[in-house]
Amino acid sequence: MTFDVATLRKEFPTLQREVGGRRLVYLDSAATSQTPEVVLAAMERYYRYSRSNVHRGVYRLAEEATDAYEGARTAIARLVGADPRGVVFTKNATEACNLIAYGWVRRQLGPGDALLCTVMEHHANMVPFQHAAQDRGFEMRYVPVTEDGQLDLDAAAQLVADGRVRFAAFTHVSNMLGTINDVPRIAALVRAANPDAIVHVDGTQAVPHLPVDLAALGADSYALTGHKMFGPTGIGALVADPALLERMEPFLTGGDMIRDVTLAGATWNDVPHRFEAGTPPIAEAAGLAAAVTFLEELGTERVRAHEVALGETFLAALRATDGVEVHGPHDMAQRGGAISFSLEGVHPHDVGAVLDDRGVCVRVGHHCCKPLMREMGVNATVRASLHVYNDEDDLEPLLEGLSAARRMFAGSGRA
Ligand SMILES: Cc1ncc(COP(=O)(O)O)c(C=O)c1O
């Protein structure tokens, strides 16, 4: 095992809990990760000692708050190999996708243009563009998913061939299938057909689990969210090429994002501040910076290695379990640690309830991927997702719950 998981777990207060007299087994980090003490401490430090607003004060507290906030920008930029001027803080990844949909797509695309998306997207990286397409009259094109849970890149090449795709939005890692997409290859394919096309990648499920280098990926913009990477809720980011941000219009307007305001109108602040209207999430930024340091100290290569090793164990055990069908790639080299599966004859909500009785937290439902679920012909799945604080000890309660669920429900007609 790459980490001393038992020691690492002690850093997460929630993981010390018991549920119904049982040890908490947290297998839902793809929905939200747990928060380590260092992140809680960073937020508390701001609230206890430095609470004040950013960018406006000339006194000590305001300088400390500004340093904490801007320090988070530098931390995110360092983590993903970006220019800090390209890091725009948002409320979450959903808002990051909306920011580029409003700031660029809606301004640039119109009738005759096309936007490439994929069937495997989370709603956050699909609906903002569908909505824009309805209003602006451009065409949405979707890359299909193959039987083994991969993007069909031959189909993608055909979808971009006429050169009308001016924007591509796709995920780095699927939250439902676990698939790790070949971002450089897809970006190259899009640009081969239209060198000016913008490539937007949803990195929400990648940043907490893999080394990410935006230059190597070839993405123009990249969305991430704090709460899945050990950080607080209420903060995410759109990380983009500053030159692209310069070409974007603000999404929200008001205080802080202006250079000057007269009764006749306003001019905009520099990037990235032009996209951060109003008082930003300061405590959350302080927490996010601590989360980045925590992740860096673990080492993103080691995080990935831990997940590959543990994922192989979980995948092998689940595939060997009677009635379990694992969705998505079966080889950990091609996937992350979010493992969706169906249990024959048992509705996923019943599986979730039986597991909850055993202190096991999994996600059940459509995972905000309704179009993908429709294509796959399933209404809902169970998803067990791994992170650094999971180990083999978490497997047994999961398997035990699955066999209990089968004993209780299979044949009840609820599936
Ligand atoms: C792949 C993916 N994209 C986007 C999101 C949206 O993240 P948030 O809810 O933090 O905006 C999620 C969250 O589940 C996700 O898994």
Q: What number does the ligand 1 atom closest to the CA of 226 have? A: 10
Both structure tokens of 86 = 């390209």
SS3 of residue 168 by DSSP: strand
Using an 8 Å Cβ cutoff, are 155 and 170 in contact?
A: no
Tens-place pLDDT, residues 178-233: 999 999 999 999 999 999 999 999 999 999 999 999 999 999 999 999 999 999 99
CA distance 221 to 159: 21
Report whether residue 108 contacts ligand 1, using a CB cutoff of 6 Å. Answer: no
- Ligand 1 centre to CA of 50 (Å) is 31
Q: What is the rounded CA–CA span in Å between residue 227 and residue 205?
A: 11
Spatial distance between the Cα atoms of 392 and 27, rounded to a whole number of angstroms:
12
**Tokens of residue 6, six digits:** 């038992």
Which of 122, 177, 200 has most ligand 1 atoms within 8 Å of its beta carbon, as the pocket-test mutant?
122
For residue 93, the ligand 1 atom closest to its alpha carbon is 11
Residue 150 beta carbon below 6 angstroms from any ligand 1 atom:
no
Token pair 């949405």: residue: 140
Rg (CA), the chain: 22
DSSP 245-281: HHTSPPSS-SSSSEEEEETTEEEEPSTTGGG--SS--
Closest CA to 2 of 393, 235, 306, 386: 306
Sheet harboring 139-143: ordered strands across? 87-90, 236-240, 221-225, 198-202, 165-171, 114-118, 139-143
* pLDDT recorded at residue 414: 55
Residue 122 beta carbon below 6 angstroms from any ligand 1 atom: yes
CA distance 305 to 314: 14
Peptide bond into 272 cis (omega under 30): yes
Question: What's the pTM value of the predicted model, to 2 decimals?
Answer: 0.97
Ligand 1: which of 176, 180, 222, 225 to mutate, judged by most atoms within 8 Å of the beta carbon?
225
Fold of 40-296: Aspartate Aminotransferase; domain 2 (3.40.640)
pLDDT at 413 over 80: no
Give yes or no for residue 57 having a pLDDT over 90: no
HSE of 296, CA atoms in CB hemisphere, 13 A: 13
Strand ranges for 75-186 from DSSP E:
87-90, 114-118, 139-143, 165-171
Cα–ligand 1 centroid distance for 49 (angstroms): 32
Q: List the chain domain ranges.
A: 5-30+299-409, 40-296
**What pLDDT is recorded for position 142?**
98
Q: Supply the mean pLDDT for the chain.
A: 96
- Tell whether ligand 1 has an atom less than 6 A from the beta carbon of residue 118: no
- Per-residue confidence band for 58, with pLDDT thresholds at 50, 70 and 90: confident
CB of residue 93 inside a 6 A radius of ligand 1: yes
Q: Which residues of 188-217 are buried (b: 16+ CB within 10 A; e: fewer)?
A: ebbbebbeebbbbbbbbbbbbbbbbebeeb
The neighbour count for residue 268, using CB atoms within 10 Å, is: 15
Tell me the C-alpha distance between 266 and 358, whole Å.
57
| DSSP bridge pairs for 325 | 342
- Ligand 1 centroid to Cα of residue 83, in Å, is 23
Encoded tokens for 79: 């983590």
Q: How far apart are CA 88 and CA 59, in angstroms?
A: 25
Distance between CA atoms of 280 and 288, rounded to whole angstroms?
13
361 φ, ψ (degrees, to nearest 5): -100, 115
pLDDT at 1 over 70: no
Beta bridge partners of 88: 238
* Ligand 1 in reach of 179 Cβ (< 6 A): no
Q: How confident is the model at residue 306, as a pLDDT?
A: 98
- Quick check: CB of 363 below 6 Å from ligand 1? no
- CB burial class (10 A; 0-12, 13-18, 19+) of residue 157? middle
Q: Is residue 415 pLDDT above 60, yes or no? A: no
Nearest CA to ligand 1 atom 13: 31
Q: Would you say residue 61 has pLDDT above 90?
A: yes
Q: How far apart are CA 63 and CA 24, in angstroms?
A: 41
Point out the residues that are catalytic. 368
Read off the pLDDT of residues 286-338 as tens digits, 9 standing for 90 and up. 999 999 999 999 999 999 999 999 999 999 999 999 999 999 999 999 999 99
Which residue type, as a one-letter code, is found at position 117? Answer: C
For domain 5-30+299-409, the CATH class is: alpha beta
Tell me, what DSSP letter sits at residue 46? Answer: I
Kindly report the protein residue whose alpha carbon is nearest to atom 16 of ligand 1.
Answer: 175
